[in-house]
Each structure stands twice: as structure tokens, then as C-alpha cells.
Amino acid sequence: MDIPWSSLIDFNKYCWVDYRYIFGKFCEVPINEALITDVPPSSDAKLPNQHENERSHRPPVLTNITALQHHGSHDSDESVTGLDLVEPLSTTKMGEGPTSIFCIKVKTTSNSDICKLSNCDVDCASSLENEVQVIIKEVDCKDVDISPLRKLMHDFFDPTTSYDQARSMLHDMNEEAARKELFFIAGEVLSNTMLEKDKKVREASSIRQSLQHMNKKIKELCRKVQALKSLLAEAENEAKDAKLEGSVAAKEFDTRFDTDLSNGIEQNKERLEAMRQDLINYKLCLD
């Protein structure tokens, strides 16, 4: 997979800043010497006079970087080859003389700022987009063509934006599904509660009807008890009256019996006395 990744240019000093880490992978940049039009001098070494003459007559141009080509698949823990990108920079127009300034070192605030894209994921890529846009605005000038860089930034951040939109849509769908599931569960709970309520109402109605029926029976039994109590009282009164009458009758019978008995004894006594006298007279007659 070829990654068309350009170096970022510092607008103030036209310094080329190399990003060696892309998407957490190491990129190896092959240098095509045929496409390099100039070689920057080092800080210690001096160029021969012939090179200086050639450079003095060479028009100040800003060459594009040779294509960044990713050779093979490299893991994040493997070693990388250095990016020896060399670009001649000019601050004057054609014919104004050699004023090319070459970067000796990479100008960055810190290594963490240089390698932000190497450790970024989809979540932090959105936050880095604004920073990258600021850097692009700083390096954007009429002498530099950064359209490949803009296209690369667009190709890099557009999937991130699409992913954020898809994730937001999926999150909304998940929330909607969760709400529907909660509504469904709440509906089932409500239905079960209503069924249980209806069942309890029917049971309560049946118990109420049974209680009313039992109350009616109890009232009828109470009336019967009252009637029986009144009958019992009447029977007791009648029994008392009968007992009194019986005692009176018994007394009267005893009285009459005694009277009859005494009257019969006297009569029998007189009769027996008369019979004894007759027997005495008869005996005398016999003598």
C-alpha cells in the first residue's frame, strides 16, 4: 500500500518536518537520487567550489518530495529506517539569486507532537484535525503546492468523520433499541400487573360475595336463635306453671284421700262394732 504522505513545512523558516509514524506503522522512504535536484550541505562539511558555482547558477526551485512508499508490513515494535528527505527551499523568486535555506534538524515542539498520528485512534483523530488544519494554514503559501497534503489530510480524516457519524448513528440506534426494550419490558410488567390486579379483584369479589352470603346465613341463624330462645322461655314458663299445678293437685289429692280414708274408717268401725254386738247376742242366745 503506497502512502502519499508529504512532509509538513514550517512557514517561518521553510523547515521540512518529517512524520515517521503513520497509523501506528513505520514508513520507510526510498530516496530516488535521480529526482533530487540539490543536496543540502551539512553543518560541518563544506561543498566544493564547483558545487557552489552550480548552486549559484541553479534557479531557486522547491522540489516535491519523492513518493513515500511503504515497503512490507512493519509492526509497531520493529526498527525503522531514517527518513532522509532533503528539500531545497528558496525565499526569493526566479533570478534573484541563491537564498536557499536547508533544514539541518526537524523543528518540532516535542517528539510527542511529531508522533501524534502514530498513536492516535479514531477517537483522538477528530481532536487532531483542528491542529492539523492550523499547521496546513501556516505552511500554505503561494510558493508551495500543498494540495497533495490537503488531499492526504482529507483522505485521513474523512473516514474518521464517517466513522464518528456511523458510531453516533449506531449509538442513537442502540439508545432507541434500549428505550424500546425498556418500553417492551415495562409493557410486559404492566400487563402482568394488570392481569394480577384483575385476578386479585376477582378473588376479592368472590370473597366479598361469600362473606355477604355468610352474613345472611348468620343473620338467619341469629333470628332462629332468638325464636328458639323465646320458645324456650315460654316452655320454661309453662313447665313452671305445670309444676305449680301439679303440686296443687297433689296436695288436693292428699287432702281428699285423707278425708275419704277417715270417713270410711269411722263407717267401717261402726259397722264392725254392730257386727261384734250381733255376734255377742248370738252367743248369748246359744248359751
Amino acid identity for residue 73 in this structure: S
* Predicted local distance difference test score (pLDDT) of residue 163: 72
pLDDT digits (tens, 9 = 90+) for 170-208: 888 888 888 888 889 988 999 999 999 999 999 999 999
DSSP-derived letter for residue 46 is -
Does residue 263 belong to any structural domain of this protein?
A: no
Does residue 126 belong to any structural domain of this protein?
A: yes
Does residue 257 belong to any structural domain of this protein?
A: no
Does residue 189 belong to any structural domain of this protein?
A: no
pLDDT digits (tens, 9 = 90+) for 20-70: 433 333 333 344 444 444 444 444 444 444 444 444 433 333 333 333 333
Does residue 124 belong to any structural domain of this protein?
A: yes
Q: From 49, 52, 20, select the one nearest 39 (Cα to Cα).
A: 52
* Predicted local distance difference test score (pLDDT) of residue 258: 75
Does residue 150 belong to any structural domain of this protein?
A: no
**For the chain, first and last CA: distance in Å?**
191
How many folded domains does the chain comprise? 1
Kindly write down the DSSP assignment for every residue of 73-135, as one continuous string.
---TTS------------SS-TTS-------SS---S-HHHHTHHHH--HHHHHHHHHHHHHH
Query: Where is average pLDDT lowest: 95-104, 159-168, 244-253, 255-264?
Result: 95-104
* Predicted local distance difference test score (pLDDT) of residue 230: 92
Does residue 232 belong to any structural domain of this protein?
A: no
pTM higher than 0.75: no
* Predicted local distance difference test score (pLDDT) of residue 276: 81
Does residue 173 belong to any structural domain of this protein?
A: no
C-alpha cell at 275: 257386727
